[in-house]
Every structure is written in C-alpha cells, then in structure tokens.
Amino acid sequence: MIALSARGLYKDFRGFRATNDVSLDVEEGEIHAIIGPNGAGKTTLFNLLSGYLKPTRGEVRLYDELISHLSPEEIVRRGLSRSFQISSVFSSLSVLDNVVVALQSRSGLPAQFWRPERVMRQFEPRALELLEQVHLTGLAGRLAADLSHGEKRQLEIALSLTQEPRVLLLDEPTSGMGSEGVARVIRLVREVARGRTVVLVEHNMSVVAELAHRITVLQYGSVLASGAYEDVRRDPRVIEAYLGE
Ligand code: ADP
C-alpha cells in the first residue's frame, strides 16, 4: 500500500523552479530517504509534502487522500507530521513538560485550560511513555535548555510522536552530531519506524545506507533516480552527481 505519494510536483519561486515534475511513492512501513546535493530541492519537497508550501502544480496524497490543498495543521490531523531541523523545543521547560504541553495542545483543550497543574499532569503517563520510546526517561526532569544537541533531536522526535503520525518526516535527523549521536539516532529511527512510515532528508550517506529501504535522489529540482538503495547507489548518474558536488 502506498502511504504517501507525490505526482508531478512543481514549485516556482518568482520564475525559479525549485522542484520540477517530482513524483514519489512511499510504501507503508518503509524508510525512504530523500538525498541530493545542496540546492537540489529537498527542503522544498519536504515543505510541499507537509503543506508548508503549496505546489505551483501537482498533488500530494496521504493514503490516497488529496492533502496538497490542506494547511499543515490539517495534514498533521490526517496523520503526517514532521520533525524540524530547527528546534521546536521550549528551552525553559523540563523535558517532560515539553512533551506534556505538546500532548495538551494536540488534545484540543482550549488554551486557558492548559496551565493549571491538574490538567497538565493528566498527560504525564503518556508523556513518560513517549520519553521511554526515545530513550530520554532518565532526563525527564532536566531543563530542555541543558540537553545536548543529540538529546534535543531525540526530544523533537518525541514531540512529533505526540501527534501519533502514520507517516513521519524527519529533516536531517543526524545533522551536527558526532558518531555516537549518529549511532543513537539510527537506532531510534529504526525503532520509531516500526509500524510507521518514515521519510527522511539525510546528508550522511552511511546513515542512508543503514536506514533506507528506498531512496529518491534529487538534482536541480528533478528526480535523478529512485528505487532500492542498493540499485540507486550504483547508478552512474548518481555517482556522477555526488562526485560533482
Ligand atoms: P536543498 O534542501 O536540497 O538544499 P532547497 O529546497 O532548499 O534545496 O532549495 C532548492 C532551490 O530553491 C535553491 O536554489 C534555493 O535557493 C531555491 N529556493 C528555495 N526556497 C526558495 C524561496 N522561498 N525563494 C526563492 N528560492 C528558493
């Protein structure tokens, strides 16, 4: 079954074509990596998939439902959420309270009811479960500002999971990490991908090799190659595009 598909996506910025007839099929349950040199259109494609940009032409479907005309919030409600490269963590709250607040806002409780302790605490058990999933239980009481870069990325994944996505988009989950952090994120993405579809933009080819079932390579806004990782990495056009970077 196809979880997420894009058909003929074009995005023009004042005459500059950032994505050019991009089509993509992501199977349910797979980890799909979008790769390509800088400026290839990866971020633009992610923005189109998650509704942050509207395509100039073309469409995006989530489980066959047309979503490309919907707002990002409506797309989240339908089961696609996105973890940003730029942090969405509240530094002044504890790790646990970051997740509690995210669960509250998702619950639809009106904002005036968010603050009282009693209401907040009802979300704690679920928040603790999510922290366990991302291996942050031991840091639940820590101020988010005091987390390492890698731990913040783990917390961001927990925040995305509060939306219970069927499809999770991860924007460069290993960026700025040392080898230990990278290994931790690889394990985590594998775990999070159980029973879920994951699409990631990733620069680190060894991460792509470890994680991705299939990849789509973008170059100059177009799809250069797409398919099983092992096949695509041997494609001479892909090798050339990377050597030319
Ligand atoms: P990548 O993520 O692969 O590095 P991007 O999607 O960020 O690539 O960018 C693709 C191209 O589109 C780049 O040449 C970039 O300068 C251009 N671009 C992206 N966003 C805008 C925008 N809002 N206005 C004009 N040009 C843009």
**56 pLDDT above the threshold of 80:** yes
- pLDDT: which is higher, 33 or 244: 33
Q: What is the pLDDT of residues 119-176, one digit of tens each?
A: 778 899 999 999 999 999 999 999 999 999 889 989 999 999 998 999 999 999 998 8
* Mean of pLDDT values over 212-236: 93
Write down the pLDDT at residue 32: 97
Name the average pLDDT for the chain.
90
* Mean of pLDDT values over 47-62: 97
Write down the pLDDT at residue 54: 97
Amino acid at 43: T
Q: What is the pLDDT of residues 43-52, one digit of tens each?
A: 999 999 999 9
Q: What is the pLDDT of residues 185-194, one digit of tens each?
A: 999 999 999 9
- CA gap 101, 54 in Å, rounded: 29
The CATH number of 2-86+166-243, from 3.40.50.300, 3.40.1710.10, 3.50.50.60, 2.40.50.140, is 3.40.50.300
Amino acid at 68: S
* Residue 30: alpha-carbon gap to chain centroid: 13
Hey, which of 44, 45, 56, 86 would you mutate to test ligand 1's pocket, going by the most ligand atoms within 8 Å of its Cβ? Answer: 44
Which of the four pLDDT bands, split at 50, 70 and 90, describes residue 110? low
Ligand 1 centroid to residue 41 C-alpha, Å: 6
Ligand 1 centroid to residue 94 C-alpha, Å: 35
Which of the four pLDDT bands, split at 50, 70 and 90, describes residue 100? very high
Ligand 1 centroid to residue 55 C-alpha, Å: 14
Nearest residue CA, atom 7 of ligand 1?
43
Which of the four pLDDT bands, split at 50, 70 and 90, describes residue 116? low
Write down the pLDDT at residue 245: 47
Tell me which residues have their CB closer than 6 angstroms to ligand 1. Answer: 13, 16, 18, 36, 38-44
Which of the four pLDDT bands, split at 50, 70 and 90, describes residue 88? confident
Numbered ranges of CATH 3.40.50.300 in the chain: 2-86+166-243
Q: What is the pLDDT of residues 62-85, one digit of tens each?
A: 999 999 999 998 999 999 998 865
Of 56, 83, 55, the C-alpha closest to 67 is 55
Instruction: Look up residue 94 and give its two tokens.
Output: 């504890």
**22 pLDDT above the threshold of 90:** yes
Ligand 1 centroid to residue 100 C-alpha, Å: 34
* Residue 179: alpha-carbon gap to chain centroid: 21
Which of the four pLDDT bands, split at 50, 70 and 90, describes residue 238? confident
